[in-house]
């Protein structure tokens, strides 16, 4: 089967059979020849009474024998028709028929639907009745002896065993827990099933109920059952898209409809029941879990409830499709698939009397458990909410209330509804219409009322004066039946309308959220072959740009959703659509987006989180109503077949043995739709052959597609047809391989994405990862680790298998340490541990523990795969991640700081009292005193985030108070991130710029282990004193120490300003540190220092260092004493204001209670001027001050008017941005 749930599968050749309504009719039940066989795979419990045990069922017959494009899978169909196997009843038990449906999903993703009616038939085989009685005698004997043995263990219990209550209970036990062949009638379950390519659930249910009614009716049906089964298998076509079809059951017509090409795909399962069972809030939460591809387990006693909820939720995913394991009804023999370490959507039948606590699942950290019968869900610990969830639920509530359904759900209502259905079914059996009345001529007349021949006879009778009115049913009965029929039709119509309106609301949300998705699809390949072969290495969707275009509240959900397989497949289909026909779901979705753009023109950049309601509800409901009210097509009536007389004789209550020869094949060519569909098939076949000839070989293309779309997942579906130990072992092996492949893919992507980000910081390329996406990647890796640790787990240890394992490992380590430190461990044991002999012993004990904890096939017990897995994980050490630092903002973190002096040029020991203050994006430590003569210290404080600056200084006390510091290293002891804060300057009065404290700007070291840190602490090679050459490093100088020329300085200032502008144009989540751009090695302060240093007349005057700050102070002195010089100028007020502000800022920095040196003061002035948009006003003041002629040569940049004007224009470009300075930069400066 190669079709999908959205369209009929393509047939092979020109056969019209692909257009049939039904592919197979199946009969399952007890095989009288095999007798009673316990169903061991279903988890046989011999403590139960034989009537409650499960026995093997068998496919008794299926018609036709096989179809080429949809081979009959006997084991799978038998297992899903009767998931519990055979069940027995007596005349005292409830024997109401039960309807359920199932779905078989092939490994290629195609689906086949099954619809089953299970009823009870009297057992006529004496062998089976005798076997059941024997089983009961054995069961009662064992049970009685166990009760007697347990009650006679003491005199007290013996006395209590003779109590009247016990006697009564034993009598009850024997009465109700027994089967007497002479007194009781034994019944066994039997199933009739239709297998169809599309989910026409309502139509199939009506047809099967009519078949069942024909079997249990007192009168035989108008035609043999073979006629009706032959008709639906071979003579009823699929309704064309956008059309409705009427075909005939045993007693009344059956109507079905199919959506058009531009409508939402077919869904016949009533969403009303799903919302009643779960409630609106719960259903939206489960829907969100499905979207994020978590593990979803549905739990109910009723198989049809499992199917209704599973199909209902997957239907609402439009335009996306569930890509992983999908088994809405999980047979008892496949319970081992709950170990699957992949996303799944499975339904598990709960047994009577068992509660949630008794269901042990290997992994629950990422599990969404849905107890349908109790209106209860268990959600994973952390997952994002659906965007606009409150408004979304409100809109859905309005739709539900309009149809009379309470949004909170109505569990009891749905139970009563199912009871009502059973009552209606009984009424249908015992009613007085159609085939069950004694007068056959009335039923035949009613059945053939629409027949053309009868119409002509009736017209002839009227002309001859013969009245035929007596043939009509009585007026009262007819009216009653008509009202009931109208009520049923109205209820069915309302269900269809509710379905489509709810689905429209869900579809509208996705249309609004992904209205501009096409703009972010990356289509790099020139042809399909190159795209398919390189699919694994390609990025098909610009995730970072897409997320930056979304409203902030949407990001937590969308950042995880765009990582799912269903979204990746959706984008793959979009790219494939340029070479082949569009996927049907994609075509409908794209047409809706086009419609939005047509009626609602808006710029793609103006993304808002304002909720927009669906506006197409009425039109959708009307199109359904029009199709159901007016039939487009009518299938031919069932008719007599060429059958052998005497076979398949009618016997009430027993499904007859059907004549297989008349059901094995259909008519040759007796209907118009056959030839029409054959022509269409031939046309499609020619087109397909042409495309195969032009493009890729079809098999090769299919292989590529399967590989491309199965990235990160290894097994789409469990194989139902073969349950041998070898197949189960092979499946588990596939799981292990899939986990390893997923680990390789995830770690590779994390490395590539992160390396790309670091390349940007080095000035290469553009960023393609955001902080938010980093969190998503880490969360995805954590999910993978959880699935690896829970795969094949023997005993559940807690909600998270990985966390439980870590706690056990920690306990074991503490015990080992305790044993090592205890006095008992001295002597020979101590010598053993020192010589390394105990290491293999520890390894053996770990392996033994793994054997106790995990099954043989578990991932963690596969040595080769485990080694590769560890190798992939260790590769992540090559890059740094900050998700822990960014998320856990309030925890206490230990830090270690190391101060590295240049010992060759300064004193190894200082007499002053040093101090340090470490600052990060989330706060600072405050001033911490460093113990004297200790260069290393550890401290603990609340998470500082990414570290940005370190303030270091001392109080200048004692004789040896001068300190030359090379750098400071600070390490986060939890994450391992190590930051280097370069200094290379003196701290002390009378040396360098006289600074007693410095602000150092940090840079993250790429990889710094403890060994590296120790190496850094050693004495570095001898260096020259850095007092004379300060900060000559500009990007364009490539690290040389020669003085830069004018062109290089101008290039440096342009680059520094450009970096700041680019910083603010990035999305907020992608921005780096602004402090580095201002005060770092290639920052704005360093670039302006080069401007001010150019043409400085002398760095030393009378053996005394002269700094830029000296020039600044001279300018301030000039302005404060000669501010009347500009009285005659027009712009005197502006000039005076700028001069006054400049003097105020400089004086505030000079009077600040900090021992900052002259270069440090210049840094503060530049930062404040940038923040307050004053630099472009200050530069011309400095350039025009007379002091400049005394301190700068004529060739200096500051004395060139054109250069100054150019500098002003460059600095004005950053005035549009709001610059927030870090507190450590301007601490104590009051302006």
- CA distances 28 to 271, 301, 1147, 1152, Å, are 29, 21, 97, 92
Helix, strand, coil percentages, rounded to 5, for the chain: 50, 15, 40
More confident residue, 1209 or 642: 1209
Residue 899 has pLDDT above 50, yes or no: yes
The pLDDT, as a whole number, for residue 306 is 92
The pLDDT, as a whole number, for residue 902 is 82
C-alpha span between 611 and 388 (Å, rounded): 7
> Closest by alpha carbon to 436, among 233, 271, 253, 216?
216
Q: Would you give the DSSP letter of residue 844?
A: H
Residue corresponding to tokens 């086009």: 594
- CA distances 270 to 493, 510, 535, 906, 1118, Å, are 11, 22, 39, 84, 87
Residue 603 has pLDDT above 70, yes or no: no
The pLDDT-based confidence of 1206 (bands split at 50, 70, 90) is very high
Residue 1130 has pLDDT above 90, yes or no: no
The pLDDT-based confidence of 705 (bands split at 50, 70, 90) is very low
What number is the average pLDDT over the span 51-69?
84
- CA distances 1037 to 760, 1032, 1033, 1045, 1062, Å, are 20, 8, 7, 10, 22
Residue 264 has pLDDT above 60, yes or no: yes
The pLDDT, as a whole number, for residue 1040 is 39
Q: Which of 589-603, 805-819, 1111-1125, 1181-1195 has the highest mean pLDDT?
A: 1181-1195
More confident residue, 380 or 892: 892
- CA distances 244 to 203, 210, 254, 485, 638, Å, are 12, 21, 11, 19, 19
Beta-carbon contacts of residue 944 (< 8 Å; ≥ 6 apart): 893, 895, 918, 919, 920, 921, 922, 923, 924, 925
More confident residue, 584 or 886: 584
The pLDDT-based confidence of 145 (bands split at 50, 70, 90) is low
The pLDDT-based confidence of 1 (bands split at 50, 70, 90) is very low
What number is the average pLDDT over the span 608-612?
75
**Helices (H) and strands (E) in the chain — how many of each?**
40, 26
More confident residue, 909 or 969: 969
**HEC-encoded secondary structure of 904-934:** CCCCCCCCCCEEEEEEECCEECCCEECCCCC
Name the helix (H) or strand (E) containing 248.
strand 244-248
The pLDDT-based confidence of 397 (bands split at 50, 70, 90) is very high
Q: Locate 1101 and state its tokens.
A: 């005057």
The values of phi and psi at residue 247, to 5°, are -130, 175
Residue 635 has pLDDT above 50, yes or no: yes
What number is the average pLDDT over the span 888-903?
87
Lowest mean pLDDT among 296-310, 435-449, 733-747: 435-449
Q: Would you give the DSSP letter of residue 265?
A: P
Q: CA angle 778-781-785, nearest 5°?
A: 135
Q: Would you give the DSSP letter of residue 334?
A: G
C-alpha span between 654 and 649 (Å, rounded): 10
Which alpha helices (DSSP H) does 930-973 contain, by range?
none
Q: Locate 146 and state its tokens.
A: 């166990």
How many angstroms separate the first and last alpha carbons of the chain? Answer: 78
- Please state whether beta strands 344-349 and 325-327 pair in parallel, antiparallel, or not at all (unpaired): parallel
Residue 1031 has pLDDT above 50, yes or no: no
CB-based contact 248:227 (threshold 8 Å): no
Residue 332 has pLDDT above 80, yes or no: no
Residue 425, helix vs strand vs coil:
helix
Residue 102, helix vs strand vs coil:
strand
Long-range contacts of 775-781 (CB under 8 A, 24+ apart): 775/559, 775/883, 775/886, 775/887, 776/559, 776/560, 776/563, 777/563, 777/746, 777/749, 777/750, 777/753, 778/750, 778/881, 778/883, 779/560, 780/560, 780/563, 780/746, 781/746, 781/747, 781/750
What number is the average pLDDT over the span 435-462?
46
Residue 936 has pLDDT above 80, yes or no: yes
The pLDDT-based confidence of 896 (bands split at 50, 70, 90) is very high
Beta-carbon contacts of residue 800 (< 8 Å; ≥ 6 apart): 364, 365, 786
Lowest mean pLDDT among 196-200, 496-500, 533-537, 554-558: 533-537
771-814 pLDDT, tens per residue?
556 777 777 788 788 878 877 777 666 667 777 777 877 787 78
What number is the average pLDDT over the span 321-339?
80
The pLDDT, as a whole number, for residue 320 is 92
> Closest by alpha carbon to 111, among 345, 329, 326?
326
The pLDDT, as a whole number, for residue 422 is 44
Q: Which of 143-157, 245-259, 586-600, 842-856 has the highest mean pLDDT?
A: 245-259
Residue 1060 has pLDDT above 60, yes or no: yes
CB-based contact 233:64 (threshold 8 Å): yes
Q: What Rg, from alpha-carbon coordinates, does the chain have? A: 41
More confident residue, 419 or 1098: 1098
Q: Locate 105 and state its tokens.
A: 């999903």
C-alpha span between 913 and 89 (Å, rounded): 92
More confident residue, 566 or 359: 566
The pLDDT, as a whole number, for residue 1039 is 38
β-partners of residue 24 are 195
C-alpha span between 968 and 961 (Å, rounded): 18
197-211 pLDDT, tens per residue?
999 999 999 999 999
β-partners of residue 928 are 916
Phi-psi map region of 990: left, alpha, beta (phi>0 left; psi -120 to 50 alpha): left
The pLDDT-based confidence of 839 (bands split at 50, 70, 90) is very low
The pLDDT-based confidence of 918 (bands split at 50, 70, 90) is very high
The pLDDT-based confidence of 172 (bands split at 50, 70, 90) is very low
Q: Locate 109 and state its tokens.
A: 């993703």
Residue 103 has pLDDT above 60, yes or no: yes
The pLDDT, as a whole number, for residue 942 is 92
C-alpha span between 948 and 956 (Å, rounded): 26
What number is the average pLDDT over the span 895-922?
83
- Burial class from Cβ neighbours inside 10 Å (0-12, 13-18, 19+) for residue 153 reads exposed
What number is the average pLDDT over the span 442-459?
48
The pLDDT, as a whole number, for residue 463 is 53
How many C-beta neighbours within 10 Å does residue 3 have? 21
Residue 1051 has pLDDT above 50, yes or no: yes
The values of phi and psi at residue 10, to 5°, are -65, 135
Residue 487 has pLDDT above 80, yes or no: no
What number is the average pLDDT over the span 1193-1217?
90
Beta-carbon contacts of residue 674 (< 8 Å; ≥ 6 apart): 16
Helix axes 1084-1093, 1158-1171, angle to 10 degrees: 120
Q: What percentage of the chain exceeds 90 in pLDDT?
A: 15
The dihedral sign for the CA sequence 106, 112, 118, 123 = negative
The pLDDT, as a whole number, for residue 4 is 36
Lowest mean pLDDT among 368-377, 650-659, 1015-1024: 1015-1024
C-alpha span between 111 and 728 (Å, rounded): 22
Q: Provide the mean pLDDT of the chain.
A: 75
> In the chain, how long is the greatest CA-to-CA distance?
142
The values of phi and psi at residue 1038, to 5°, are 50, 40
C-alpha span between 55 and 44 (Å, rounded): 9
């Amino acid at each position: 089967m190669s079709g999908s749930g959205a369209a009929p599968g393509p047939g092979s050749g020109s056969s019209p059979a692909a257009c049939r309504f039904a592919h197979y009719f199946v009969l399952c039940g007890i095989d009288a020849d095999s007798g009673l066989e316990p169903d061991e795979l279903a988890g046989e419990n011999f403590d139960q009474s034989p009537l409650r045990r499960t026995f093997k069922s068998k496919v008794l017959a299926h018609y036709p024998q096989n179809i080429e494009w949809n081979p009959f899978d006997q084991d799978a169909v038998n297992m899903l028709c009767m998931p519990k196997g055979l069940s027995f009843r007596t005349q005292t038990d409830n024997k109401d028929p039960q309807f359920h449906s199932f779905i078989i999903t092939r490994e290629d993703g195609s689906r086949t639907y099954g619809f089953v009616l299970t009823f009870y038939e009297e057992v006529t085989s004496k062998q089976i009745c005798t076997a059941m009685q024997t089983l009961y005698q054995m069961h009662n004997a064992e049970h009685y002896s166990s009760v007697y043995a347990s009650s006679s263990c003491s005199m007290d219990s013996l006395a209590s065993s003779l109590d009247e209550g016990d006697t009564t209970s034993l009598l009850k036990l024997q009465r109700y827990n027994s089967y007497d062949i002479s007194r009781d009638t034994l019944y066994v379950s039997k199933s009739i099933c239709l297998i169809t390519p599309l989910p026409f659930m309502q139509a199939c249910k009506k047809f099967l109920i009519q078949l069942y009614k024909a079997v249990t009716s007192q009168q035989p049906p108008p035609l043999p059952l073979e006629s009706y089964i032959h008709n639906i298998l071979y003579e009823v076509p699929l309704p064309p898209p956008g059309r409705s079809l009427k075909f005939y059951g045993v007693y009344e017509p059956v109507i079905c409809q199919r959506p058009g090409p531009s409508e939402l795909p077919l869904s016949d399962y009533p969403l009303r029941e799903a919302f009643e069972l779960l409630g609106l809030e719960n259903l939206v939460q489960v829907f969100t879990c499905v979207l994020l591809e978590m593990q979803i387990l549905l739990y109910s006693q009723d198989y049809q409830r499992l199917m209704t909820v599973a199909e209902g939720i997957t239907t609402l995913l439009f335009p996306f499709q569930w890509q992983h394991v999908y088994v809405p009804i999980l047979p008892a023999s496949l319970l081992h698939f709950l170990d699957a370490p992949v996303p799944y959507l499975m339904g598990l039948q709960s047994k009577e009397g068992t509660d949630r606590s008794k269901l042990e699942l290997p992994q629950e950290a990422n599990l969404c458990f849905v107890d349908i019968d109790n209106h209860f869900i268990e959600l994973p610990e952390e997952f994002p909410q659906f965007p606009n969830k409150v408004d979304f639920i409100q809109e859905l509530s309005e739709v539900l209330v309009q149809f009379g359904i309470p949004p909170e759900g109505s569990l009891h209502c749905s139970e009563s509804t199912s009871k009502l259905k059973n009552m209606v079914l009984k009424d249908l059996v015992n009613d007085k219409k159609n085939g069950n009345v004694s007068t056959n001529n009335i039923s035949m007349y009613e059945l053939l009322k629409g027949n053309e021949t009868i119409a002509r006879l009736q017209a002839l009778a009227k002309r001859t004066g013969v009245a035929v009115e007596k043939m009509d049913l009585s007026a009262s009965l007819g009216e009653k039946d008509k009202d009931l029929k109208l009520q049923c039709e109205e209820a069915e119509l309302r269900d269809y309308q509710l379905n489509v309106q709810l689905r429209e609301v869900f579809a509208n949300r996705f249309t609004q959220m992904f209205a501009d998705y096409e703009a972010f699809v990356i289509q790099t390949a020139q042809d399909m072959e190159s795209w398919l072969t390189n699919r694994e290495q390609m990025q098909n969707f610009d995730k970072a740009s897409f997320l930056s275009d979304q409203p902030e509240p949407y990001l937590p959900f969308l950042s995880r959703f765009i990582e799912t397989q269903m979204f990746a497949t959706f984008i793959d289909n979009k790219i494939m659509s340029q070479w082949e026909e569009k996927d049907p779901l994609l075509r409908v979705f794209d047409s809706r987006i086009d419609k939005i753009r047509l009626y609602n023109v808006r710029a793609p950049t103006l993304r808002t989180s304002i909720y927009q309601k669906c506006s197409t509800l009425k039109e959708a409901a009307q199109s359904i109503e029009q199709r159901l009210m007016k039939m487009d097509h009518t299938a031919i009536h069932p008719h007599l077949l060429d059958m052998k007389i005497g076979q398949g004789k009618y016997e009430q209550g027993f499904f007859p043995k059907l004549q297989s020869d008349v059901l094995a094949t259909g008519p040759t060519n007796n209907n118009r739709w056959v030839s029409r569909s054959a022509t269409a098939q031939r046309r499609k076949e020619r087109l397909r052959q042409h495309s195969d000839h032009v493009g890729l070989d079809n098999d090769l293309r299919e292989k590529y597609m399967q590989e491309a779309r199965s990235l990160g997942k290894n097994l789409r579906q469990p194989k139902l047809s073969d349950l041998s130990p070898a197949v189960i072992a092979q499946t588990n092996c596939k799981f292990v391989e899939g986990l390893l492949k997923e680990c390789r893919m995830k770690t590779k992507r994390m490395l590539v994405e992160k390396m790309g980000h670091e390349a940007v910081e080095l000035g290469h390329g553009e960023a393609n990862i955001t902080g938010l996406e980093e969190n998503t990647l880490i969360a995805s890796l954590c999910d993978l680790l959880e699935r690896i640790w829970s795969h094949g787990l023997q005993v559940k240890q807690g909600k998270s298998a990985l966390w439980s394992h870590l706690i056990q490992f920690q306990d074991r380590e503490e015990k080992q340490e305790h044993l090592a430190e205890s006095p008992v461990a001295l002597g020979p044991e101590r010598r053993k541990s020192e010589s390394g002999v105990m290491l293999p012993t520890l390894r053996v004990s770990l392996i033994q523990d793994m054997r106790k904890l995990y099954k043989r096939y578990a991932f963690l017990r596969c040595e080769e795969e485990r080694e590769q897995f560890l190798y992939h994980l260790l590769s992540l050490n090559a890059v740094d991640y900050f998700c822990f630092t960014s998320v856990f903002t309030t925890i206490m973190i230990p830090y270690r700081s190391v101060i590295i002096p240049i010992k060759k040029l300064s004193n190894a020991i200082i007499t002053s009292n040093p101090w340090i203050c470490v600052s990060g994006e989330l706060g600072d430590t405050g001033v911490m005193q460093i113990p004297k003569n200790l260069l290393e210290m550890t401290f603990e404080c609340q998470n500082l985030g990414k570290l940005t600056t370190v303030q270091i200084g001392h109080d200048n006390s004692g004789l040896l108070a001068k300190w030359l510091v090379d750098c400071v290293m600070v390490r986060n002891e939890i994450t391992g991130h190590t930051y280097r804060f370069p200094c290379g300057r003196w701290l002390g009065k009378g040396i360098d710029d006289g600074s007693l404290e410095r602000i150092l700007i940090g840079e993250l070291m790429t990889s710094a282990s403890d060994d590296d840190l120790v190496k850094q602490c050693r004495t570095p090679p001898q260096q020259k004193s850095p007092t004379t050459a300060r900060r000559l490093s500009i990007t364009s100088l490539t690290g040389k120490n020669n003085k830069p020329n004018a062109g290089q300085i101008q290039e440096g200032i342009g680059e520094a300003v450009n970096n700041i502008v680019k910083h603010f144009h990035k999305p907020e989540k992608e921005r780096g540190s602004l402090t580095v751009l201002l005060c770092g090695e290639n920052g704005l302060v360093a670039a302006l220092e080069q401007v001010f240093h150019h043409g400085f007349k002398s760095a030393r005057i009378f053996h005394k260092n002269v700094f830029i700050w000296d020039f600044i102070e001279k300018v301030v002195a000039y302005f404060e004493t000669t501010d009347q010089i500009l009285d005659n100028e027009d712009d005197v007020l502006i000039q005076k204001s700028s001069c006054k502000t400049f003097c105020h800022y400089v004086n505030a920095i000079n009077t600040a209670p900090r021992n900052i040196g002259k270069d440090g003061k210049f840094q503060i002035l530049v930062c404040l001027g940038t923040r307050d948009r004053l630099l472009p006003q200050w530069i011309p003041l400095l350039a025009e001050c007379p002091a400049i002629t005394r301190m700068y040569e004529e060739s200096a940049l500051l004395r060139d008017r054109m250069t100054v004007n150019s500098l002003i224009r460059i600095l004005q470009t950053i005035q549009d941005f709001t610059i927030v300075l870090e507190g450590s930069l301007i601490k104590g400066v009051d302006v």
